[in-house]
Amino acid sequence: MNNLLFKGAAYLTFANLIFMGSGYIIQILIGRFFDPALYGTFGIVIYLINLLNTILTSGFFQGISRSIAEKETAAKTILRKSLKIEIILTPIIALIYYGLADLISRGFGDPQMAYYIRLSALLIPLYGIRTVYIGVLNGLKRFNKQSLIAIIAAISKLVLVVIFLLMGLDLDAILLAYFLAALVSLITAMSFTKIKNGLDHFPGKKLFNTTITISFYAFGFPLLMSIDLFLVKYFSNNQDSAGYYNSATTLSRFLYIILAGFVISLLPIISGYYYKNLIEKVRENIKQAIRLSLIILGPLTIIASLTAGNLIPLIFSDKYNPAITSFSILVFGMSLLALTRVMMTIIISIGQQKMSLYLTIMLILASIAANLLLIPKYGINGAAWATTFVGVIGLLFSYIYVWKKINKITNWISIIKIIIASLVVGIVCKVLITELDFSNFKILALYSILVLIYLITLVMFKEFSKNDILILRNFFTGKNINKKTDI
């Protein structure tokens, strides 16, 4: 596989693990410091602001990155035009969101939420403008600097949250921590984005159309992942239900976030190959990305589901035990959505961003229908089943579309071996947790044993070779590997 993809994935995965780890610590701390009802309110507010920010982050980020990958000599032109768009757009969106705070809070039946929604509106301009600089760095394949920005944002946010919680401050102080961390990372991003040349012409209309189309997709996909929580909040007579389900979604999103490094580094690399008409390079990068995604997600999904009864109380405490069953279901849905996101990114990379938008709209409608059908009858477990169903549909349709466009994107013998190895680990896990006590931190010993068994099984199937060891070395160190490791 292309060395640059793995080097980028190494930097970005490391950064995302830190970002994700800090996010989990924040979620856990808030879950422990506040009651489930207030924790549920926090979860809704954060998801809402993330939905809005994805219009200005993921969408513009991918649009800017893809545009620069297509024409790197216009990087500075793209930076300037993108900043103009964000500086105009983000304050408008922030004001609209601020004004709708009361209406949104009434919709969720939680009047106190309006105050926190208004505070969170301050984040929108910072996130939007910062995204322009990060998108430029990604398009220029400066993955190390892009990763450092994410790390600075994560660590500064975590430190501030811990300080404010220890001071006994309320939820508004937590949102202040988010704001200050965003400001620090914005200043860092601006200092990192130095472009000497890059003044070639790039059509402003093309840039705008690309970023807007991808922005709608980027808005739609997080919405797709949050519909279940929103409808749980809407239908539930028990305010704690949203908190329980928020704990399940928070923990299960680990499986979604862990592939972020691949997703972010795939976009500029595949776009570059595609616009140079190097289809074989595109095909082989896709093939290996799918394989490695399954190697990571396969065992993690099964193990997380089987040990849900250990994980939920360990991470969130026993008061969140009602979320155990929904979490054991939801991990499969999140893994399927993670794979769907990989395929959607590939679709965008080959210039078919409208199709990614159409597929996302279809999945949103399917999610609404499934949740409306299942939540009233089965509660939070119904929401988890609805998300899993949508994940199956999303992966199926997105994979078929990419296969029709590129063809020969999967080594099926390899995929079957990975599935069998994951099932072997699942069987061993089930036997061990039935016969032995793995409560509290003893579960970490079980995870170590299962990972070792999984690797041995892959080696026996000749699915994990010296080549993969070199690839993983590169993945975790960012070092160059010998060209023989390319497919």
Q: Side chain identity at 472, as an amino acid letter?
A: L
Q: How far is CA 68 from each of CA 11, 64, 205, rounded to the nearest angstrom?
A: 20, 6, 15
Give the number of other CB atoms < 10 A from CB of residue 191: 11
Do the Cβ atoms of 425 and 454 come closer than 8 Å? yes
* Mean predicted confidence (pLDDT) in 74-90: 86
Q: Quick one: which of 159, 135, 170, 167 has its CA closest to 149?
A: 135
C-alpha of 416 from chain center: 26
Q: Quick one: which of 316, 379, 365 has its CA closest to 26?
A: 316
What is the pLDDT, as a whole number, of residue 3?
58
What is the pLDDT, as a whole number, of residue 432?
92
* 396-432 burial: b if 16+ Cβ within 10 Å, else e: ebbbebbeebbeebebeebbebbeebbebbbebbeee
Do the Cβ atoms of 149 and 181 come closer than 8 Å? no
Q: What are phi and psi of 277, to 5 degrees?
A: 65, 30
Question: Alpha-carbon distance 111 to 368, whole Å?
Answer: 24
Task: List pLDDT tens digits, range 271-319.
Answer: 878 877 888 888 888 888 888 889 989 999 999 999 998 888 888 888 8
* Mean predicted confidence (pLDDT) in 84-113: 88
- The tokens describing 380, both together, are 């939070």
Q: Is the pLDDT of residue 332 over 50?
A: yes
Question: Alpha-carbon distance 472 to 394, whole Å?
Answer: 28
Question: Alpha-carbon distance 50 to 67, whole Å?
Answer: 24
Q: What are phi and psi of 484, to 5 degrees?
A: -65, -15
What is the pLDDT, as a whole number, of residue 157?
93
Task: List pLDDT tens digits, range 63-74.
Answer: 888 788 777 778
Q: What are phi and psi of 199, to 5 degrees?
A: -100, 10
Do the Cβ atoms of 268 and 68 come closer than 8 Å? yes
Q: Side chain identity at 167, as an amino acid letter?
A: M
Largest CA distance in the chain: 67
Question: Alpha-carbon distance 351 to 238, whole Å?
Answer: 45
Q: Quick one: which of 162, 198, 204, 250 has its CA closest to 73?
A: 198
Residue entry with tokens 């990155």: 65
Q: What percent of the chain has pLDDT over 90?
A: 33
Q: What are phi and psi of 479, to 5 degrees?
A: -80, 155
pLDDT tier for residue 225 given thresholds of 50, 70 and 90: confident
Average pLDDT, rounded, for the chain:
84
Q: Kindly report each contact of residues 297-300 with a partner whose C-beta sits within 8 Å and lies 24 or more positions away, as own/partner.
A: 297/255, 297/258, 297/259, 297/335, 297/338, 297/339, 298/418, 298/419, 298/421, 298/422, 299/421, 299/422, 299/425, 299/426, 299/450, 299/451, 299/454, 300/255, 300/258, 300/335
Q: Quick check: helix, strand or coil at residue 473?
A: helix
Least confident window among 33-47, 327-341, 342-356: 33-47
pLDDT tier for residue 337 given thresholds of 50, 70 and 90: very high
DSSP state of 237: S
More confidently predicted of 222 and 336: 336
What is the pLDDT, as a whole number, of residue 427?
95
Q: Quick check: helix, strand or coil at residue 482?
A: coil
Q: To the nearest 10°, report the CA torsion of 250, 340, 218, 380.
A: -40
What is the pLDDT, as a whole number, of residue 480?
45
- The tokens describing 123, both together, are 């984040």
DSSP state of 122: T
Q: Is the pLDDT of residue 85 over 50?
A: yes
Q: Side chain identity at 76, as an amino acid letter?
A: K
* Mean predicted confidence (pLDDT) in 456-464: 86
Question: Alpha-carbon distance 20 to 81, whole Å?
Answer: 31
Do the Cβ atoms of 213 and 223 come closer than 8 Å? no
